[in-house]
Amino acid sequence: MKFFTAAWATGELPDEEHEAAIPAYARNLSSLCLPTHLQPLVDADLHDALVEAVERQGDTLTLSLIAGDLQRGYHSTSITYRGFELVVGSEQLESGVEEEATEILYDEIDRYQDRYVHRLLFSTYTHAEISFDSVAVHMSPRQTRENEHGSAS
């Protein structure tokens, strides 16, 4: 994580550094001139999303998440990265599925060389960094936050 680090999330940073992270990320994001196909990922609210499944097939990685809250409603969110490479965090993604209560606390979108990067900070204060060529985000409404195991954590 570059902006929303574990130290940032746990309040370990001095106030001025903590408060500077959000506008710094916003400036960085706007400077990237991201293509329109990335806008759904930028707009996706993944805060507190439960990691439900991780599927890999060739150069494609799909994350299945349960996102939303009681006020706005819940939805199943599927993020499919094409041409992906896990720069950091293969074990974090896998453990997110194994541990029923693993949530995404914060995420960042960035660019590294000629590729895009999606960084995820988990409730375990570990992170994953996924580099990719393109992405598709699909959301569909759901009634509850409960996952297939009946846990809503």
pTM of the model: 0.89
Cα–Cα distance measured from residue 70 to residue 64, given in angstroms and rounded to the nearest whole number = 19
Distant-in-sequence, close-in-space partners of 96: CB < 8 Å, separation ≥ 6: 51, 54, 102, 122, 124
Please report, in tens digits, the pLDDT of each residue of the chain (153 residues total). 999 999 999 999 999 999 999 999 999 999 999 999 999 999 999 999 998 888 999 999 999 999 998 898 999 999 999 999 987 766 766 665 555 678 999 999 999 888 999 999 999 898 999 999 999 999 999 998 887 655 555
Report pLDDT for 102: 83
Q: Where are the domains of the chain?
A: 6-142
